[in-house]
Structure 1
């Protein structure tokens, strides 16, 4: 099982940046929820929802396309890199300028008053810089330079977190006389209190610019090559992936855009629609713990899947990967959901944010099924039938929009969470069914669904059990978590040790 060990090692290294590093970034949640009211945090949540859509447009599937064509026999990887980066450079400049011109309409979509257009300018800069960095990062992954990849990602996160803490915590505290009052004149020279949540975007912009500097070697050896003819097969492969990505963003982020528009006025007494978006966005952050694991796995697994595509034992390898991925995510789902009251105490510092906690287990499970779908999607990527991914993504998008339309007026943000769960479950089920026809893999689906069903039962027991709040309840939750993990270890342990 040397292959499995290699994948696990790569995942661990990438995890330094995408899990450990982003967990540090995740620690900003208590800063935001402590310093910003829900309505203010709703601005951050809403704008970054648009960023998720636009990021797909800026990169339009070129990372996966680069991996696919770079692994084809006879491909000149250096020439391929130059051509793709040339395309990204030109498109990023055009799209960044276009987004700046549309700043006012974008702000109106969020219901923000005139004068906030600078937020859109900063967002445009972030998107343009990140799009330019996407292919150099993909090149590092292709060349198995996981340590350099992780180091640059961590540097980005460290600068972003440091600037957030400086402008959102340190500067206001110094001006308020909390500590180091002698630095107040210096702080006034660099800090503008009226920017408020704008510093979240400025910090991100500075970190993105710094990342490009660290990728200097991958950028300075680039040669501008503009020739549309060799790009045609790449674009043909990439555009379904881009459409699939856009559909995926509908499923992942559209709820935070639709929520303030479809939520009935006064649904949550004493709260505005933007405040509801802020509460939902803060609670959604807790579910991102699952997404962090998936992202770390994806960085290592995407080039791994393509590299293994010609191996005759690849179906068995893919089945093994999905099994252990799902079991690990099931344990995370139980661990966070069962002990959510403790997690919330750490990350949600204002009582108004605690109202949305019930959506977290639903969103954790939804993200788990998204990870399962991503594993299952290997069949249409390896068979060059990426249009199936587009069909599945758009089917999920239609379901997401329909369920949000039906459920938000009735259930509020819980309706959005349930719509997300239904969408990802349907996409995973359809992807598995189609894969059985086009690229059969012996996935142990019955066994995995049994474990997931048991995980849901454990979480339900933890939420509805009669143990009174206090240390007794915390102890009971800990026993439930350890019992579930121990049961997996006892039943599946022998197979795990054989690896």
Structure 2
């Protein structure tokens, strides 16, 4: 974030700035989704880096591994929101950042009060997903009205949904099987590279 914002401001006067911002979003989402899937499919051995003070506490930590993909998805959504926020900063309409954050906070507070007593931390995680999703949607819609950027919404949403689907298969169908999970990851990464190869090679030549 600290490195991206100075770039956004310094590049704003360039005639193709909006196209570049959209391209940055494309590759940010691809990178984040690949990280999300990569961690999720390897959680069965990564969990050994999570240490408790005793076996009972460690088992308690491990019992919450099923929410890891959702937590990672939340980071993806938060990152998307941070990228989208460029519009109200460049147009000096930062009050919209306050509006969006306020709405997200209200959604989080109200739904946590309702869901945590019944669903515990799982409810809190899904509330965060919903709050970030609403913030992303509001920032995108308001931004397109005031500072249109040609984001490829369909393509980016497809990558997110496929990545989430791989995580779901890994956890709910293949019972976190590391080999199968990594095969799925390789297929997903290979598909992504195949689809993006021309744009990637063109970018590397610049």
Indicate the TM-score class for this superposition, using the shorter chain for normalisation: over 0.9
Alpha-carbon distance between aligned partners in 2 of 1:432 and 1:466, rounded to the nearest angstrom: 35
Asked if 1:325 is matched to 2:33, the reply is no
- Cα deviation, 1:67-99, whole Å, max 9, x if unaligned, reads xxxxxxxxxxxxxxxxxxxxxxxxxxxxxxxxx
Alpha-carbon distance between aligned partners in 2 of 1:333 and 1:395, rounded to the nearest angstrom: 26
1:323–1:444 contact (8 Å) kept in structure 2: yes
Asked if 1:344 is matched to 2:52, the reply is no
Question: Any idea what SS the aligned residue of 1:299 has?
Answer: coil
User: Which residue number in structure 2 is paired with residue 362 of structure 1?
Assistant: 70
In the TM superposition, residue 347 of structure 1 has moved relative to its aligned partner by 2.0
2:41–2:178 contact (8 Å) kept in structure 1: no
Alpha-carbon distance between aligned partners in 2 of 1:435 and 1:379, rounded to the nearest angstrom: 6
RMSD value over aligned CA atoms? 1.2
In structure 2, the gaps of 5 or more residues are: 53-57
1:457 corresponds, among 149, 165, 170, to 165
- Bigger radius of gyration among the two: 1
Question: Any idea what SS the aligned residue of 1:443 has?
Answer: coil
Structure-to-structure mapping, 1:161-200, within 5 angstroms: none
Alpha-carbon distance between aligned partners in 2 of 1:404 and 1:355, rounded to the nearest angstrom: 21
Alpha-carbon distance between aligned partners in 2 of 1:351 and 1:340, rounded to the nearest angstrom: 14
Asked if 1:387 is matched to 2:95, the reply is yes
In the TM superposition, residue 465 of structure 1 has moved relative to its aligned partner by 2.2
User: Which residue number in structure 2 is paired with residue 497 of structure 1?
Assistant: 201
1:367–1:424 contact (8 Å) kept in structure 2: no
Alpha-carbon distance between aligned partners in 1 of 2:202 and 2:49, rounded to the nearest angstrom: 39
User: Which residue number in structure 2 is paired with residue 124 of structure 1?
Assistant: none
In structure 1, the gaps of 5 or more residues are: 1-297
Asked if 1:482 is matched to 2:186, the reply is yes
Alpha-carbon distance between aligned partners in 2 of 1:430 and 1:336, rounded to the nearest angstrom: 29
**Structure 1 residue runs of 4+, over 6 Å off?**
none
- Cα deviation, 1:115-170, whole Å, max 9, x if unaligned, reads xxxxxxxxxxxxxxxxxxxxxxxxxxxxxxxxxxxxxxxxxxxxxxxxxxxxxxxx
Question: Any idea what SS the aligned residue of 1:358 has?
Answer: helix
In the TM superposition, residue 396 of structure 1 has moved relative to its aligned partner by 0.2
Instruction: Give the TM-score normalised by the residue count of structure 1.
Output: 0.39
Instruction: Give the TM-score normalised by the residue count of structure 2.
Output: 0.92
Alpha-carbon distance between aligned partners in 2 of 1:329 and 1:302, rounded to the nearest angstrom: 18
2:73–2:129 contact (8 Å) kept in structure 1: yes
- Matched residue pairs, number? 198
1:392–1:427 contact (8 Å) kept in structure 2: yes
In the TM superposition, residue 348 of structure 1 has moved relative to its aligned partner by 3.5
Name the structure, 1 or 2, with higher relative contact order (CA <8 Å, separation 6+): 2
